[in-house]
Amino acid sequence: MNAKHVNYDRLAAEYDRRFIPGQVSNTCRALLEQVKQANAQRILEVGCGTGHWLEVLSAPDRSLIGVDYSRGMLAQTRVKLIPARLVQGVARQLPFKSGEFDFVYCIHALHHFVDPCAFIAEAQRILRPGGELVVLGGGTPKNRADWYIYQYFEGSFETDLERFPLWEKVCEWFEMSGFDRLKLLEVENIHEQKTGREIFLDPFLQKHACSQLALLSERTYQDGIKRIESDLVQAENKDQDLEFKSEISIKMLSGWKGY
């Protein structure tokens, strides 16, 4: 789907910095509620990364499987000793039998897939009749000013415009693959504002903590950091507070396989 791909083997060791220990996000609550309503027992996560969401869903009555292309990310998952089977594979050709799962999901991963439409078709194949596919994540960015990353790091906004599909397009892919009863909901609206030098405590500002920065060359990344530092110095010289905004909408699209 996109020309740029993140080498997650390089990011794996630092990736979990984005998660605050003990924090239960609205995205997490939405996923748990969806699994509960589906009464799902055989569950597959595609693009499971370091296993954060598998750990969230871990329960004695659930059989969990995680698929990821990155060996490095899977290695991080294994360290956590999550009771889940881990498989290296690609989303467009899942190594499972037809009708094997009750529930298939991916979180913040669809835009990384080479062929997201093929993944959705594969999910339809491996779900049992009545099974559910859930995709959670951000959509195509609308405004550069919504996230300070886009403002300070050259090319990050334009790259995300190419990488992230419109939710309307994802709905089309669901329907093309035979899913019905589609439901698209906003499950989380992240509205954060950091002041002054506290911006350097933001885990998403680390080079390998988010894909937007990981895709940048080291020089482009450092240029962005220098721009932040320059604006901070100017604000401090004027005895002003510099604000860094993050406004990100997380949506959930669900669809069911008919009987």
Question: How many structural domains does the chain have?
Answer: 1
- Residue 197, in any domain of the structure: yes
Assigned token pair, 172: 């089309």
- Residue 120, in any domain of the structure: yes
pLDDT at site 105:
98
Going residue by residue through the chain, which has 259 residues, state the pLDDT in tens, using 9 for 90 and above: 444 677 777 776 677 666 666 555 889 999 999 999 999 999 999 999 999 999 999 999 999 999 999 999 999 999 999 999 999 999 999 999 999 999 999 999 999 999 999 999 999 999 999 999 999 998 888 899 999 999 999 999 999 999 999 999 999 999 999 999 999 999 998 889 999 999 999 988 988 878 899 999 999 999 999 999 999 999 999 999 999 999 989 999 999 999 8
- Residue 3, in any domain of the structure: no
- Residue 68, in any domain of the structure: yes
pLDDT at site 174:
98
pLDDT at site 21:
61
- Residue 2, in any domain of the structure: no
pLDDT at site 1:
40
- Residue 222, in any domain of the structure: yes
pLDDT at site 6:
78
pLDDT at site 20:
60
- Residue 1, in any domain of the structure: no
- Measure Cα distances from 243 to 147, 148, 155, 236 in Å: 11, 9, 21, 12
How far is the C-alpha of 29 from the C-alpha of 11, rounded, in Å? 26
> Do the Cβ atoms of 56 and 28 come closer than 8 Å?
yes
pLDDT at site 142:
86
Domain that holds residue 24: 8-257
Query: Residue 13: is it exposed, middle or buried by C-beta count within 10 angstroms (0-12/13-18/19+)?
Result: middle
Which CATH number belongs to the domain containing residue 95 in this structure?
Answer: 3.40.50.150
Residue with token string 């911006």: 199
pTM of the entire predicted model:
0.90
